[in-house]
Structure 1
Amino acid sequence: MEFCDECGSMMKADDGAWVCAKCGFEKPRDSAKEAQMVTTQAQEKSEIIESGGGSSGLPTTDARCPECGNDTAYWYMQQIRSADESETRFFVCTECEHKWREDDH
């Protein structure tokens, strides 16, 4: 990620150069200096939430599944929008493992 030397805004890559979307300042991209994103297997595994029956480790609540009509679901909360907005509640049916979410709008 690069930031503009002129105004401090985030720059985007465009045809071998970094271009500021706000003021138009350009600077060449140096591919030798650019960092590569590396994801390890440990990171990938830690981001997976499994819903394997009763041993999932997630708490349960009374929630009606829109697929099968079951009235119990596992639940968890995750921040997926900006920090000044509330978290999103995710549900996983204890019977059919259908997943859905509930947002505060």
Structure 2
Amino acid sequence: MQFCDECGSMMKTEDDRWVCGSCGNEELRDSAAEQEMAVTTQGQEESEIVDTSEVDAEEMGPTTSTRCPECGNDRAYYEMKQIRAADESETRFFTCTECEHKWREDDH
């Protein structure tokens, strides 16, 4: 990623140049410098599976209005957990207040 020296906006690549979409400033690309700024996932740990099956429903915390995919109940306990990289949003886990079915926000 390259930022414009003139206005500070993020630049995009066009062939052998970096071009600022805000002010039009152009700079030649430097492949050696781009190699140093490349983002990799090498060395990052795999995220672990978060198991909430052993937690009692009463200990799950506050409740919210959401529909249980198992029994149709409209209340569930929820808790937020950071299970991915720090720059990604937290995942919300739900436990139905009736049947204690567990799911996470992106499951349905």
- TM (norm. structure 2) is 0.56
Equivalent residue letter for 1:97: W
Whichever of the two has the greater Rg, that structure is 2
Q: Does 1:38 align with 2:9?
A: no
Trace 1:1-12 onto structure 2 (pairs within 5 A): 1-12=1-12
**Deviation (angstroms), 1:92:** 1.9
CA distance in 2, matches of 1:93, 1:62: 9
**Deviation (angstroms), 1:25:** 1.1
CA distance in 1, matches of 2:23, 2:16: 18
For 1:21-72, what per-residue CA distance to the aligned partner results, in whole angstroms no more than 9, with x for missing partners?
1111111111211122122332x42xx67244135xx943223442232633
Equivalent residue letter for 2:40: V
Compared CA separation, residues 27 and 93, structure 1 to 2 (3 A): same
Partner of 1:81: none
Equivalent residue letter for 2:38: Q
Unaligned residue ranges in structure 1 (runs of 5+): 79-87, 101-105
Equivalent residue letter for 1:38: T
Unaligned residue ranges in structure 2 (runs of 5+): 83-88, 96-100
The alignment's C-alpha RMSD in Å is 3.2
CA distance in 1, matches of 2:77, 2:92: 6
CA distance in 1, matches of 2:62, 2:33: 50
Partner of 1:82: none
Aligned residues: 86
Q: Which of the two has greater helix per residue?
A: 2
Partner of 2:105: 99
Equivalent residue letter for 2:80: Y
Give 3-state SS (helix, strand or coil) of 1:41's partner. Answer: coil
Compared CA separation, residues 89 and 3, structure 1 to 2 (3 A): closer
Task: Quote the sequence identity (%).
Answer: 35
